Amino acid sequence: MKDDQDINRYFSGPVYRFLSSLFGIFLVAVGICVIFLGVVSLPVRTSAGLLITALGVETLWSAIQSKQSWLAKLGPFI
């Protein structure tokens, strides 16, 4: 793939990785707050919180590995 051979990818830069990791930590914190402090029924807040937390963990892990996260790939579709 062309993406694997391009060494000057925008998501490999230090500023992007730092901001992406901060956003990942923020999403993990929001997901945990949704699970424990949500005002909707238990299954809804648990599933929504786990989804938000999973996206945050994946964004943080992608920043560590210098890869493009799922949220960055979904960005053009939103």
Instruction: Tell me if 71 is assigned to some domain.
Output: no
What residue type is assigned to position 46 of the chain?
A: T
**Cα angle for residues 15, 16, 19 (degrees, 5° grid):** 85
Which DSSP helix (H) or strand (E) runs through 3?
A: helix 2-5
The predicted pLDDT at position 55 comes to: 93
Mean pLDDT calculated for residue range 62-78: 77
Residue with tokens 């914190």, as numbered in its chain: 29
Is there a domain that residue 73 lies in?
Answer: no
- Evaluate whether residue 4 is within a structural domain: no
Residue 57 belongs to a domain: yes
E strand map for 1-78: none
Cα–Cα distance measured from residue 22 to residue 14, given in angstroms and rounded to the nearest whole number:
12
**Structural domain boundaries, residue 23:** 12-66
pLDDT given at position 37: 92
**Residue 20: CB partners within 8 Å, gap ≥ 6?**
11, 59, 60, 62, 63, 69, 72
Q: What is the mean pLDDT of residues 61-78?
A: 78
Q: Comparing C-alpha atoms, which of 6, 48, 12, 40 is closest to residue 56?
A: 48
Q: Looking at residue 11, what is its pLDDT?
A: 65
pTM: 0.78
pLDDT, tens digit, for every residue of 10-67?
A: 667 788 889 889 999 999 999 999 999 989 999 999 999 999 999 999 999 988 888 8
Predicted confidence at residue 10, as pLDDT, reads 65
In a domain, 33, yes or no: yes
Does residue 25 lie in a domain region?
yes
Tell me, yes or no, whether 1 lies in a domain. Answer: no
Q: How many domains does the chain contain in total?
A: 1
Q: Is the residue at 47 inside a domain?
A: yes
